[in-house]
Amino acid sequence: MNTSDIQITPIQQSKINSVDFNNLAFGAVFSDYMFECDFKDGSWQKPKIKPYGPISLDPSARVFHYGQAVFEGMKAYKDDNDDIFLFRPDENFKRINKSAERLAIPAFPEDYFFNGLTQLLKLEKDWIKKGLGNSLYIRPFVIATQPAISASPANEYKFMIILSPAQAYYSGEVKVIFSEKYSRSADGGVGFAKAAGNYAAQFYPTKLANEKGYQQIIWTDASTHNYLEEAGTMNIFFRVGDTLITAPNNDRILDGVTRKSVIQIAKDNNIDVEVRRVSVAEIKEAARKGALKEIFGSGTATVINPIVAFSHGGEDFDLPKQEKSYASFFKEKLTSIQYNISEDPYGWRFKI
């Protein structure tokens, strides 16, 4: 499929001039167009790009009753020459289909995805603002639309891409709780998938943490709660001494694009990296001895998010401020590639 195969319905008038790009709440403002493609009769139909707006679904659409929904998160960046770039979009494409497979949703074709996204971003190029920290957040997602409430996979789906302008994501000083009771996911489950229900299940325990003054939870393994895994919408890294430690991927942990990029950059800059199980006891002991230098999360929205303190078992631990932190080093390396400021030795940039 090429871009000429996409049916485009033009907008009557852009709403871009009504948007205050200096005061954007993350994920609350959306661009003029959206991409849409339906699956029915055993195949994906002709894709469409049309004005952003409500969609009509039957109340019995299976997404409402059985949660067949997966999504992705990506960003588009603009450099000083007005060129537009994506960051490792092949990884997002592979992951949404991996997520879809786990929820018995048909795979979306690669040419539909990339040609549709390319055409959409070209139409919306004015929504991508220049300047470090500015970006256009991209949300591809798939939902089950078949009107039937029998408990089985749907035979009709809708694949969509919506766009939201974003500024630098900063949530202030982040304090976390190491989970002792609730679990994000379990062995054999859907933790590795970006399934909508994964995030809904986090909201209640995170609300409890918020009420105690903590912004996030670092989830522990469901079996013993002895091993640290990931935090909220982020993968998690620990710096003990000068060694960077992160939990290995498994069927409970999301295979983060930023995570794997951090690991690669660390290795190429002679930073020792250990991808292994990380115990709560080990991190608490390192904190007591002063060996725990940093904890930070990684993800598409935040890039790198430093954590300043954690709590577990009634004990609170503050982390020392680092003059030359790993968190700031990785954030600078990643954003320099994303915004076409530096060379890209990895081939991670994808030009639109």
Q: What's residue 48's pLDDT?
A: 96
- What confidence score (pLDDT) does residue 139 get? 98
Are the C-beta atoms of residues 159 and 108 closer than 8 Å to each other? yes
Judge whether 299 and 234 are in contact, CB under 8 Å.
yes
Find how far residue 6's CA is from the centre of its chain: 27
**Ranges of H-type helices in 80-135:** 89-102, 110-123
The residues that bridge with 237 in the sheet, in sequence order, are: 296
CB 8 within 8 A of CB 131: no
> What is d(CA 169, CA 33) in angstroms, rounded to the nearest whole number?
23
Residue 14: phi and psi, rounded to 5, are: -70, 145
Q: Partners of 39 in the beta sheet?
A: 44, 157
**What is the Cα–Cα distance from 243 to 245, expressed in whole angstroms?**
6
Residues of the chain scoring pLDDT < 70: 1-4, 169-172
The whole-number pLDDT of residue 328 equals 93
d(C-alpha 331, C-alpha 262), whole Å: 9
Q: Which of 199, 202, 232, 254 is nearest to 69 (CA)?
A: 199
φ/ψ of 38, rounded to 5, equals: -100, 145
Q: How far apart are CA 101 and CA 107, in angstroms?
A: 7
Which tokens is 256 given? Answer: 């983060």
Alpha carbons 35 and 162: distance in angstroms, whole number:
7
Q: Give dist(CA 48, CA 37) in Å, integer.
A: 6
pTM beyond 0.85, yes or no: yes
pLDDT tens per residue, range 147-158: 999 899 999 999
pLDDT value at position 2?
Answer: 60
Task: Using DSSP, state whether 219 is helix, strand or coil.
Answer: strand
Q: Which domains does the chain possess?
A: 3-166 (3.30.470.10), 174-338 (3.20.10.10)
